[in-house]
Structure 1
Amino acid sequence: MALATRTDKRPSMARTMWDSSVGKKTVMAVSGLVMLLYLVAHMIGNLKIFFGPADLNGYAHWLRTLGEPVLHYEWALWLVRIVLVVAVVAHAVCAYQLSRRDIKARPSKYVHQKKRASYATRTMRWGGVILGLFIVWHILDLTTGTVHPGGFEHLKPYQNIIDTFSTWYGNVVYIAAVLALGLHVRHGFWSAAQTLGAGSRSRDRALKTTANVLAAVLTLGFIAVPVGVMTGLVS
């Protein structure tokens, strides 16, 4: 009598990790840190606006020639964009799935009121939605020029930024999104550190201080640009 052969296969380690809550939190932590590195670089690039149009417009051109002659024109920039898209999608998908699991695990409200979490913690989900919508608007405004007020000029971010922040709604949308970003970074950096095992009693204070400093620097750095345009410092 022939022995029956087993046809079932065990799920791969990657699939097992992806299906677990710990795995999803790890993906969120890593993707969040990737986006944080980009934000720091993006903020530094934005601040070149205070050195005049030649500096900022020249920086925009340099980004497109980065890696030449090994890489073709804009290849490095597109590689960065692809990595960012993957990071944003992975971060958003994991956040949504973890949120759904949390809701299913607690279908009814607590009988006893739990200790209130920090404001940043309680607004992480809505903050993520706000930032997602802002990213779409920001790309359509300053990358493709689809919704840009006035005439969009390719490779002239200095003039395009002034156009955007010369409108009241451009300032309101941008500043509101940056404030949401600051809260998101403050809580997200702390959560990522805990997920990746960097947290401990001896390092908790340093990590919290780092999260607060990062959030403050990014918030002030990004807001400095529209404030500079509104006050006439940049014109």
Structure 2
Amino acid sequence: MRILRRVDDGIRERAAGAVVGAAIGDALGAGTEATAMARNLWRSLIADDGALVLSDVLSRHVAWLATGPSDVGAQTRLALEEARRGTPEAARAVFERRGPEVSAGNGSVMYCSPLGVARARDPERLFVEAPALSALTHWDGRCATACLAVTLAVAALVRDEEPAGAVRAAVGAVAGRDGAEELEHLVDEAGRSRPIDGPDSGFVLFTAGIALQVVGEGLGFE
């Protein structure tokens, strides 16, 4: 990977594994949106030599939507349609129209992991970049919190940090942000007191919570 060319072979191998693993996980869930949007993000990072150029990422998402993919979440579709019409801060327009009750979907957290891989050696940048990436399609602050926690954990794992510690540090780093307390709770309780096939399944903090739980506890996705 060109954006990781200055790091050791171990980091490059773990980075490649993270990318392939995300695509396989999405495929096993019969999804394509997350893989397609993650690919857009990766291609943008590579084209811009590792810089996160939000306008380029968004234009790639809009171009992808124009191909007519069938698997697109409602919130993602609405935001990208607004962007295609030239609406400034398209996701914010959708959020203000729909309200917070239906605005914390999991679309942005499902594809944000490449940013964590790219920032493995510079994770402080994620505190600005991860929320900004999320806001391209999901304006709700809980989505920003989830993306920040997940990308921080991914960055730590690529650096070969111990998984449970990486998750604890990521959750601790988002303390005080929108939804942070609920995320901490869900890292313990998602799939337990709150079932995976229940009404929370598309909720961004639930998705982030179950993902971080699986990583931190060394569980499988069965």
**Same fold, judged at TM 0.5 (above):** no
Higher normalized contact order (CA 8 Å, seq sep 6+, divided by chain length) = 1
Higher share of residues assigned helix: 1
Structure label with greater radius of gyration: 1
| TM-score normalised by the chain length of structure 2 | 0.29
| TM-score normalised by the chain length of structure 1 | 0.28
